[in-house]
Chain A
Amino acid sequence: MNTVPWLTIMLLVPAVGAVVVGFLPRRRATLAKQLTLAITLVVLVLAVLATVAYEPKRAGFQFAQHHSWISTFGISYSVGADGISLVLMLLAAVLLPVVVLSSWDEVDGPEPGGDGLAAPAGGGRGGATPAGPAGGVGAGGGVATGGVATGGVATGGVEGGGGGTAVLVAAPPAPPAVGLGEPVPARGTEARGQRSVPAFFALLLALETGMIGVFAATDVFLFYVFFEAMLIPMYFLIGSYGPVKEQAQRSYAAVKFLVYSLLGGLLMLAAVIGLYVVSAQHLAHGTFDFATLRQLEITPGVQKLLFLGFFVAFAIKAPLFPFHTWLPDAGAQAPTGAAVLLVGVLDKVGTFGLIRYCIPLFPDAADYFAPMVLALAVIGIFYGALLAIGQRDMKRLVSYTSLAHFGFIALGTFAFTSQAGTGAVLYMVNHGLSTGLLFLVVGFLVARRGTRDVAAYGGLAKITPILAGVFLIAGLSSLALPGTNSFVSEFLVLVGTFTVNKALAIVATTGIVLAAIYILYLYQRTMTGPVTHEENRALLDLSVREKIVVAPMVALIIGLGVYPKPIIDIIRPSVTATFADIGKHDPAPTHPAAAQPGGHS
C-alpha cells in the first residue's frame, strides 16, 4: 500500500486543477466552481486514503519520494509524511471543500456595480462611451467577456492593413494621436471592474497545493519554496477578493500580510542557506535533506543564529505575540473562505515549522530559547484574549482569539513533553476546525447584514436559530468546553506543561477564563436579548448549502471532542520520536491515562 506516491498525487491534483480552472473563461463561473469542488473532494479522498494507509507505529517518514532537483545545491524533491504532517494535510484537505462550498456565491455575489466606489464611475463611463458595435454584441451583462474579446479581435482585423491599433481591452476612446479613429470596442462597463470567478477558485487550488506541499516537504529548500509560494495566492485572495467597498483597507491588509511574511521568509532564507553551508562544511557535499541535516552536530553558537532565522519566520507566520499585527487586518479583510484557510491552515505552517524544524534541527538553541518562547506564548494568550474582548469588528475579534490559541500551541510545543507536544499538534487541528467554523459563521452573518460591526446585531437567536446554534457550537469549541474537540488538546497542553513548569501552566490556565469571556460576550451581544435593529428581522436562516457547509465541521468538532483517539494515535508516536531524538524524555511521574480525558464523556 505504501508504494503509492500519495503525497505526490495529492500535490499534482490541485496543481493541475489550479491551472485548468485558471484558464477557464470568466463566463464559465459555474463550471469553475463545480470543477474546483470536485478536485478538492478528490484530494480529500486521497488524504483519507493516505491516512488509512499510514502506519503510525513505523518510524520515519512514510510515502517518501526522492528525486534530485537542483543537484548543484543538493536540492531534491523529497516528500514524506509523519504523524504531525499527515494530520495537518488532512485538515487542509477537509477544510478546502468546505471553503469552496461556502464561497460559492461570495465572489460573484456583490457586484462592484452595487457598491459606492465603482458604480458612479461605471455609470459615468457607460454614458460617455457608447459601446462600439462589437462591444454591444458581447456585452450582454458583465459575464460575456469572451464575446467582447472576439469583437475586439475582429475590429483589429478590419483595421489590419493600416497602422491602427487594435485594442482588446476596455478603453475609453484614446486621443486621436494613437491612431484610433473609430470607437473602440469597449467591454461592458460592468465587466471592466468585475472580479473573475475562475481566478478565485484557481487561487484556492493553488493555495491547497502550497499547503499540502509545505507539510509534505522533507527537503528544507522545498519546504521554503512552498512556504513562500503559498503567500502569493493568499495575497491575491485578500487583495482582490476582500470586501468590495474597502479597497484601501484590503490592499493595505494584503500588502501588510505579504511584507511581513516575506520579511520573515527572507530571514529564514538566510538561515536555510546558512544551514546548507554548515552541511557543506560537515559533509562532502552540501544538502537540504531534512533527515541528513538532523544528524548534524552544529555548534551551539551557529545553532542560535540559525534558530532565530527560522523562529522569526515561523513566529510571524503563526503568529506569536510581537509579530502578530498583520493577522487581524488580514483576517478581517480576507474573504471568508480565505480567512478560514488563513487562520485554519496557513498559520499552522508556523507552529508546524516550530515542531518540525526549529526543535529537531537546533536542539541546543531550542533549549536556550525555550524560556523566551514560553514567555511570548503566555503573553500571547493573555494579550490576544484581552484584545479580542475589546473588538467591535467580528472578524478581527476572531483573529485575536487565534492569537491566544497560538499561544497555547507554542506553549505545548516548547514544554518538550510528549503530552504537551501531542496536545499542541492536536490543538493545531482542532483550532483549524473551531476557528474555521467561527469564521464561516461570522462570514454568513456579514454576508447577510453587510457589516462586521458587532453593534449591528443583537437578538438574532430568535430570527436565525440554526445560525445561532452553530455559532454557539463554534464558540464553545473555541473556548474549549469539555465535550468539544479543543478541550482535549488544551487539556493535554496544560497537563504536559504542568509536569515540567507548574507556574507557567497555572498562569496559562487562567487564560481559559478570558476565552470564556470573549466568546460568550460576543454571543451575548449578537445572538441573545431583544432584536435591537429592525432591519435584522428580515435576515434569513442558513440555506441548504450553508447547512451542508457547516455540518461536517460541527460533526468533527463534536466527534473529535468525544473520541479523539484515532488522531492522537497518529500524532503521538511522531511527537514522542521528535522529542526523544533531541534527548527530551517525559518527566517520570506521567500517567498516560491522563492523555484521554475526553474519552469517557
Chain B
Amino acid sequence: MIVADNHLLLAETQKITPPSIEYSSLSPLLIVFAVALVGVLVDAFATRSTRRVIQPILAGAGFVGALVAVAVLHGRHAVLASGAVAIDAPTLFMQGTILVFALLSVLLVAERRLDSSGGAIVASAAVTPGSKGSTAARTSEDVQTEAYPLMVFSVTGMMLFVASNNLLVMFVALEILSLPLYLLAGLARRRRLLSQEAAMKYFLLGAFSSAFFIYGVAFAYGFAGSVEMGKVADAVGTTGKNDIYLYLAVALIGVGLFFKIGAAPFHSWTPDVYQGSPTPVTAFMAAGTKVAAFGALLRVFYVAFGGLRWDWRPVLWGVAILTMVVGAVLALTQRDIKRMLAYSAIAHAGFLLVGVAASNTDGLRGSMFYLVTYGFTTIAAFAVISLVRTGDGEASDLSQWRGLGRTSPLLAGTFSFLLLALAGIPLTSGFTGKFAVFQAAIEGDATPLVIVALVCSAIAAFFYVRVIVLMFFSEPLTEGPVVVTRPTLTFATAGIGAAATLVLGVAPQPLLDLANTAASSGFVR
C-alpha cells in the first residue's frame, strides 16, 4: 500500500530535491543517538563484567559530550532539516537541562553499593517473579545493562521532543522517549511484580495517549495542510478554514501532551509508575520527562497554536486547577513515599501549567526556570529515598521513616530540606521557581489561577510537613530501616541536587538571566 502510494507520488513529481541537513547544528542529538547505538553494540559484544563498567561511563561521557555541543551551539536560531527540527534558545536551554538531569540519573542507575549485590536494576528482567530463579536473580551480581542504552535512547527522544518543529517529528520523538521508559519502568530489582505492573500500565496508557496525539496531528494536517508548526500557526491566522478540525487538533494533541506531563485528568499512571519503577528511573522520569514534555507543550501552544491563545487558555486554566487540586489533595492520603512524591509531581505539573497559562515571555522564562529547580530537587529526593532500606529493598512505606531524624540526622535533614523546597519555602529553589511562574501568571492576568495555586501550595505543604513530622517528632522504630552509608554515587547525586536547590534559592540570578535570555529570544518559527 505504502509502496504503491510512493510510486504514484513519484509518477507525479518525478524529481525530489534532497534536503540539506546541517549536521553540526544537530550535533547534540547525533552525539547522544550515536552513543545509544554504541551502547547497544557494547551490550552485544562485551562480556557481562565489562559491560557493567563500560556502559555507565559511555552514557555519562555521551551526555557530557552532548552538553558541550549544546553549549557551543548557544545563540543559534534556525529551523533545520527541512523544517523538521528547530534550534533556538529555549530548545538549547531545555536540551541542556535534560542532559544535566540525565547525567545525574546515570549516577543513580550506576550505583551498585546500595544492595548486597547490584544496584536498583534487575539482574534478569525475563525471570518470572516468584519462580525458582527469582531469588537468585535478586542477589545476583548481574545487571540488565540494557538500561543504559535505553536511557540514552530516551534522552535522544526527549531532546528531539523539545526541538521538533514539526508535529510528525514530535510524534516520533514522543515514541522514542516513551518506549525505552516503558521498558525501564519494568526493571526494578526488587518488588518485581509491582515493577512489571508499572511497565504494563505505563505502556498501555502511554500508547493510548500517543494515539490521541497522532490523531490530533492528523486533524492539524486536515486543517492547515501541513504538520509544520509555522505553517499551522499561519493557517490559524487566516480565515475560511474549518475551525472544527483545528479545535479537535488542539484538544487531541493537548491530551497527548497532558498525559506526558502527568496533568489531571490524564495523571492516573503517575503514582503506579513512579512507585513501581526502579527509583533511579523514577528520578529520571520525574525530572527529564517533565522538562521534555513541557518543552514540547510550550512549543506547541506558543508557536503552533499561539494565535489561538484566547481559545485554549480557559481549557489550560481548567486543567491546571484540576491538576493542582488532584495532586495536592490525593497526596494527603498516601502511605508510600514514592507515591506521595508522584502526586507531588502532579501538583508541580499544575504549578508549571500556571506558568504556561500566563502565555507571555515571563511565563516561558518562569516555566523554564521552574523545570530546572524542580528537576534538581526531585532527583535528589529520589536519591535520598533509595538510601533508606530494609532487608526487602527500599523502605518506601511512610511509617518506616519514623524517627529517622533521630537516628540519621544528616539524611533526614537533607530530605527535609528537599521537601521544604518542594513545598516552596523561601531560600530554596522551589520558592524562587514558584515565584517566577506566579509572577508571570499575575502579569498575564491569571490572578485567580495564582490564588488557587497558592491554596494548593498550602495543602501540599501539609503532606511534605507530615513526613518531616514523622522523621523528627516521632520515636524511632525498634525494627527501623537501615540507612546505607557507602554509596558514593548516590551521595554525590543527592548532594549535587540539594546544593543546586540551595544555590538556586539563594542566588538564582545567573540561571534567571540564562532563562531570561532564552525566553526573550523566543521560539524560532
Interface residues of A (CB under 8 A from B): 69-73, 112, 117-118, 121, 124-125, 128, 152-153, 156, 163-172, 174-180, 184, 187, 192-196, 199, 224-226, 228-229, 231-232, 235-236, 239-240, 247, 250-251, 254-255, 258-259, 262-263, 266-267, 269-270, 273-274, 276-277, 280
Contacts and interface: CB of A to CB of B under 8 A. Distances in A.
Contacts of B508: 70
A184 to B, nearest CB: 8
Contacts of A177: 116, 138-139, 391-392
A247 to B, nearest CB: 7
B512 A170 contact: no
A317 to B, nearest CB: 15
B472 A269 contact: no
| Residue of B114, B431, B439 with most chain A CB atoms under a 10 A cut-off | B439
B473 A277 contact: no
A128 B476 CA distance: 16
B443 A277 contact: yes
B505 to A, nearest CB: 9
A276 B436 CA distance: 12
A164 B112 CA distance: 11
A156 B482 contact: no
A259 B461 contact: yes
28 contacts: A70-B432, A70-B509, A112-B475, A118-B475, A153-B485, A163-B141, A165-B484, A169-B485, A171-B481, A174-B391, A177-B138, A178-B389, A179-B139, A192-B406, A195-B406, A224-B426, A225-B426, A226-B426, A228-B425, A229-B426, A240-B405, A266-B454, A266-B455, A269-B454, A273-B438, A273-B439, A273-B450, A274-B442
Contact of B438 (A152, A262, A269): A269
A423 B233 CA distance: 64
Contacts of A121: 475, 478
Given A177-B138, A255-B462, 14 more contacts: A70-B432, A70-B512, A72-B512, A121-B475, A121-B478, A128-B478, A165-B115, A170-B407, A177-B116, A177-B391, A178-B115, A192-B403, A240-B473, A247-B474
A61 B438 CA distance: 30
B48 to A, nearest CB: 16
Nearest to A180: B482
Contacts of A174: 390-391, 482
A250 B475 CA distance: 13
Contacts of A187: 407
Contacts of B116: 163-165, 177-179
Given A117-B475, A247-B474, A262-B461, A225 B482 contact: no
Contacts of B164: none
Contacts of B389: 165, 178
B473 A254 contact: yes
B510 to A, nearest CB: 10
A19 to B, nearest CB: 12
B515 to A, nearest CB: 9
Contacts of B423: 262
Contacts of A70: 432, 508-509, 512
Contacts of B442: 270, 273-274, 277
A232 B419 CA distance: 12
Interface in B471-506: 472-476, 478-486
B465 A172 contact: no
Given A193-B406, A239-B469, A240-B473, A176 B391 contact: yes
Nearest to B417: A232
B194 to A, nearest CB: 17
Contacts of A184: 482
Contacts of B473: 239-240, 247, 250-251, 254
Interface in B365-410: 389-392, 403, 405-409
B144 interface: no
Contacts of A171: 480-482
A180 B461 CA distance: 37
Contacts of B443: 277, 280
Nearest to A267: B454
B226 interface: no
B486 A165 contact: yes
Contacts of A231: 425
B90 to A, nearest CB: 17
Nearest to B485: A168
Interface residues of B, number: 63
Given A124-B478, A174-B482, A251-B469, A169 B425 contact: no
A73 B476 contact: no
B435 A266 contact: no
Given A174-B391, A273-B435, A273-B438, A254 B475 contact: no
B52 to A, nearest CB: 13
B408 A270 contact: no
B81 interface: no
B27 interface: no
Contacts of B474: 247, 251
A226 B426 CA distance: 8
A270 B453 CA distance: 10
Closest 6 pairs between A and B when the two form their complex, measured CB to CB: A179-B116, A175-B391, A225-B426, A266-B454, A239-B473, A168-B485
B117 interface: yes
Interface in B338-369: none
A270 B454 contact: yes
Interface in B456-475: 457-458, 461-462, 465-466, 468-469, 472-475
Nearest to A68: B509
| Residue of B391, B462, B473 with most chain A CB atoms under a 10 A cut-off | B473
B270 interface: no
B467 to A, nearest CB: 11
B479 A172 contact: yes
B465 A152 contact: no
Contact of B483 (A167, A195, A263): A167
Nearest to A268: B454
B513 interface: yes
B134 interface: no
B439 A152 contact: no
Given A172-B479, A192-B476, A266 B516 contact: no
A271 B389 CA distance: 43
Contact of A270 (B392, B451, B465): B451
| Residue of A125, A156, A177 with most chain B CB atoms under a 10 A cut-off | A177
Contacts of A170: 407, 476, 480
B427 interface: yes
A194 B472 CA distance: 11
B420 interface: yes
B503 to A, nearest CB: 13
B447 interface: yes
Nearest to A275: B442
A254 B138 CA distance: 42
A72 B439 CA distance: 11
Given A239-B469, A270-B450, A165 B482 contact: yes
B420 A193 contact: no
Contacts of A262: 423, 457-458, 461
Given A121-B478, A168-B485, A193-B476, A259 B141 contact: no
A277 B446 CA distance: 12
Nearest to B406: A193
A165 B483 CA distance: 9
| Residue of A172, A176, A225, A266 with most chain B CB atoms under a 10 A cut-off | A266
Nearest to A145: B409
A254 B469 contact: yes
A258 B407 contact: no
A193 B423 CA distance: 27
Given A273-B450, A277-B439, A71 B509 contact: yes
Contacts of B113: 163, 165
Nearest to A187: B407
Contact of B427 (A152, A169, A229): A229
A213 to B, nearest CB: 11
